[in-house]
Amino acid sequence: MSKNWTRSLRDRLQQEIPMEHLLPDTLPKYVDSYVYLFGVLTLAAFVWIILSGTILAIFGPDWWHVSPVGHFFNSLHFWSIQSFFFFMILHLWAQFLMAAWRDGRHFTWIGGWLMFLVSILAGLTGYLSQNNFDAQWIAVQGKDAMNAAGIGGFFNLLNFGQMYSLHIFVLPLILILLLGGHLLLIRKHGVVEPLPPDPKSEVRQG
Amino acid sequence: MKQSNSATPDRQVYANSRFEQIPYDLVKEMTWAIVGMGALVLILAGVFSTPDVPMLTAKQVASQDPMVLVNTELSDLASTGEIAQYGPPYNHNNGSVQAIGGFAPQTWLGVTIPVNSAQDNVLNPLQRLAAINPAVSSTLSQWRTASGRTQQAWIQAVQQQLPKATIHNGRLILPQSGTNLGPVPAMVNDYLALANSGLLESAIDAHNGPAPELDRTRSLLLLQGKADHIYAGKLNMKGEQWGIIKETGNYPGAVWLWFYTLLYQIPPYSTAANADLLVVLTVLLVTAVLVFIPFIPGLRSIPRRLRVYRLIWRNYYREQEGQR
Ligand code: HEM
């Protein structure tokens, strides 16, 4: 009898990450610090990036230069990005200081770094999609580093069409996929446990 | 730590359930985070807005710093300019090829974006102008029928006079005229006229395949040198001023690239001819170390030594240690 792929996928999900773990209504008591909010706030800022970016994409790349409403949506996009990176970097440092890659969570950490790197590319292509002097300057200044690294020949900062399509479709798609993986891994493993009480402190554990 | 549960032998105990639980509402927390973040970015956008300085155009250069455009045109025409000498991916020279010993990734893919600055930036656009203004045709045919040596001699003769030349009403006024200049003064005037009309960029990019307005590589390369630097300098955006990560005005730019841009400011990077390659490799190396830190003994213990985690989980440790 051949295996039922659908049933095995369902069983697998059920086993790896049951609903109660995916959408928890309780958390361990040690989850008691504002640093846990950094990831959530990064995600919230990402939601606003997508929303404001979608409005900008709907009306096209010239709209916000001529319409005050468009300019406001561009500002919304810009400040969502600044907030996104601000909280992502705090989140990254917090995860570092907690050594949150422990107990099998290394892919959560590595995937987090991938998201950081893809976000940098998304930021770069975003600056290059602006059709203003910032874009022009970053393109001509940045091209030498891309060329020196050997990728300028196919990742051409001076090619607006390429930068724009990477920025509004390809990179956000990759980010969303990686983010989905990040969140699933987080819930699969549960929140990282505190490090064992310090071996040097007077009170030792067990 | 990961003992299996006898009821479901193939399933590990969910680590979190070994700890005392407190009530939590994930969906509510996420919703409020989105609402709160929305308020924050609305306020930031409303109060601070965003900068939007228009692109620098050849028309603007022709009216504000016409000599810069003339110099660029002539060095492009003579193939002595930065881009003409650049090397891959634009052409086969090596003026801007960066290497560490024999390691030069810049050359690996060869010329994938061919740029011939004399043809692309000067002669082709003038050719387009000739379709509108037939006088340009005879100027160009005088140029085309001359030998390479003669062409270079003409250009050099004009270049020698440039320090004392002026531009009046969009026309180049040289201290001395003469046949040793060939058609070059006329080509300069035609080029200035094309730039002043606002059509120069389109005339350059018109050769870029089916959708030239989407790929402005060649017209951007025309202004990438002195013209862009003068304009960027006026806006405090140059590298020395940390400009690459800064937007125009006092706006934060890509501040998350601080490490990357910092390297350019310090030796050995700040003085190296292959700074870009060195910086890129350093950043890749440091990033790789951070990505794989969970597997690097010593480094992965840094957080343990820093002891900031004691602060993050302070209530937990207080309770744990109080119990004993
Ligand atoms: C797109 C950007 C990112 C988003 C939206 C995001 C979101 C989140 C969220 C919501 C959590 C759970 C709550 C929390 O601990 O804050 C989390 C956990 C985690 N994140 Fe991220 N993250 C991002 C980038 C990163 C980066 C750059 C890293 C590090 C390189 C990282 C590493 C981790 C780790 C290791 C955990 C697990 C922590 C634990 O088990 O307690 N994330 N992330």
Question: What is the interface pTM, i.e. ipTM, of the complex?
Answer: 0.92
For A41, half-sphere exposure in the C-beta direction (CA atoms, 13 angstrom radius) is 21
Share of chain A above pLDDT 70, in %: 95
Note whether residue B15 is domain-resident. Answer: no
Ligand 1 pocket, residue A176 CB under 6 Å: no
Angle at A41 between CA A65 and CA A182, to 5 degrees: 105
Q: How many angstroms separate the alpha carbon of residue A91 from the centre of ligand 1?
A: 6
Cβ pair A140, A158 in contact under 8 A: yes
Note whether residue B166 is domain-resident. Answer: yes
Ligand 1 pocket, residue A112 CB under 6 Å: yes
Residue-level pLDDT, tens digit, chain B, 324 residues: 444 344 444 456 788 888 999 999 999 999 999 999 999 999 999 999 999 999 999 999 999 999 999 999 999 999 999 999 999 999 999 999 999 988 999 999 999 999 999 999 999 999 999 999 999 999 999 999 999 999 999 999 999 999 999 999 999 999 988 878 999 999 999 999 999 999 999 999 987 777 888 999 999 999 998 889 888 888 877 765 554 566 666 778 888 888 888 888 888 888 888 999 999 999 999 999 999 999 999 999 999 999 899 999 998 988 888 776
More confident residue, B176 or A67: A67
Ligand 1 pocket, residue A42 CB under 6 Å: yes
Ligand 1 pocket, residue A125 CB under 6 Å: no
For A30, the 3-state DSSP assignment is coil
Domain extent at residue B180: 58-230
| For B89, nearest residue in chain A (alpha carbons) | A153
* Minimal-distance CA residue to ligand 1 atom 6: A39
Distance from C-alpha of B67 to C-alpha of B188, rounded to nearest angstrom:
10
Cβ pair B280, A142 in contact under 8 A: no
Contacts of A15 in chain B (CB under 8 A): 10-11
Average pLDDT over chain A reads 92
Give the distance from residue B188's alpha carbon to the nearest chain A alpha carbon, in angstroms: 25
**Residue A202: per-residue pLDDT:** 42
Give the distance from residue B170's alpha carbon to the nearest chain A alpha carbon, in angstroms: 25
pTM of the predicted model, to two decimals? 0.91
Note whether residue B154 is domain-resident. Answer: yes
Note whether residue B169 is domain-resident. Answer: yes
The yes-or-no verdict on residue A206 having pLDDT over 50 is no
Note whether residue B295 is domain-resident. Answer: no
Note whether residue B103 is domain-resident. Answer: yes
Contact B313 A30 (CB under 8 A): yes
Cβ pair B263, A160 in contact under 8 A: no
For B4, the 3-state DSSP assignment is strand
**Residue A204: per-residue pLDDT:** 37
The yes-or-no verdict on residue A107 having pLDDT over 50 is yes
**Residue B179: per-residue pLDDT:** 79
Q: What is the pLDDT of residues A4-39, one digit of tens each?
A: 999 999 999 999 999 999 999 999 999 988 999 999
| For B287, nearest residue in chain A (alpha carbons) | A113
For B50, the 3-state DSSP assignment is coil
Distance from C-alpha of A126 to C-alpha of A160, rounded to nearest angstrom:
10
**Residue B11: per-residue pLDDT:** 54
Could you check whether the bond before residue A172 is cis, i.e. omega within 30 degrees of 0? no
Q: How many angstroms separate the alpha carbon of residue A20 from the centre of ligand 1?
A: 20
Query: Residue B251 — φ and ψ, nearest 5°?
Result: -80, 145
Note whether residue B8 is domain-resident. Answer: no
Note whether residue B25 is domain-resident. Answer: no
Contact B310 A198 (CB under 8 A): yes
**Residue B41: per-residue pLDDT:** 98
Number of domains in chain B: 1
